[in-house]
Structure formats: C-alpha cells, structure tokens
Structure 1
Amino acid sequence: MVHIRFEGRSVDVAERQLGIVTGMNDVAVKEQVARHLDVNNDRLSAYIVDRRPSGDLIVRPEAVYG
C-alpha cells in the first residue's frame, strides 16, 4: 500500500495500481505518484518516500520542526 499526503489530502493506493514494483528508487516512486495525481514531477521533488518495515510506502512532504 502507498499512503500519499499531497496538498492537504491523504489517499491510499495499491502499489500495483500505481505501477510501483519492488526495488524502485525514490525518484521512480515519486514519478509514478505524480502521474497518478496528474501533476508535474517537480511538484513532488521535495517530498520524502518513507519505507515502512511492513513494506508500505508513505509519500509525504518533508517535515520541518522547530
């Protein structure tokens, strides 16, 4: 499962639906997510791909604390 947090929205999408396969790097994952969201790749350039121990992915903005 891929959990996407984008512009105040949260959505869960199956990897298969996004075209994400095991071993894809972060850039390729963000390209597939951008395609799914119908936005330019650069809109996700500052986003983080958080790989959970369960195998799930979270694509989210970089958290800034302080």
Structure 2
Amino acid sequence: MDHIRFEGRSVDVAETQLGIATGMNDLAVKEHVARHLDVNSDRLSSYIVDRRPSGDLIVRPEAVYG
C-alpha cells in the first residue's frame, strides 16, 4: 500500500494501481504518483519517498521543523 500526502489530501493507493514495482527509484515513484494525481511531476520534486520496513511507501512533503 502506498500513502500519498499532497496539498492537504491523504490518499491510500495500491502499488499495482499506481504501476509501481519493487526497486523503482524515487524519481520513477514520483512520476507514477504525479500521473495518478494528474499533475506535473515537477510539483513533487521536493517530496520525500519514505520506504517503510513493511514495504509500504509514503510520498510526502519534506518536513520542516523549527
């Protein structure tokens, strides 16, 4: 399962629905997510792909503290 946080929305999507395969690099993951969200992939350039030990992915904005 992939979790996407984008512009105030949170969406859970199956990897198969996004077309994401094991071993894809962050850029490829972001391109697939952008296609799913119907946005230009540049809008996800500063986003983080967080790979969880369970195999799940979280695509989210970079956290800024302080």
Q: TM > 0.5 between the two?
A: yes
* Corresponding residue for residue 4 of structure 2: 4
**TM-score with structure 2 length normalisation?**
0.99
Give the length in aligned residue pairs.
66
* Corresponding residue for residue 41 of structure 2: 41
Q: What 5-or-longer segments of structure 1 have no aligned partner?
A: none
**TM-score with structure 1 length normalisation?**
0.99
Distance 2:31 2:2 in 1: 13
* Corresponding residue for residue 58 of structure 1: 58
Q: Where has structure 1 moved over 4 Å in runs of 4 or more?
A: none
SS of the aligned residue for 2:5 comes to strand
- Provide the alpha-carbon RMSD of the alignment: 0.3
Distance 1:18 1:65 in 2: 30
**Post-superposition shift, 1:20?**
0.1
* Corresponding residue for residue 15 of structure 1: 15
Q: What 5-or-longer segments of structure 2 have no aligned partner?
A: none
Distance 1:9 1:58 in 2: 13
**Post-superposition shift, 1:14?**
0.3
Identity %: 89
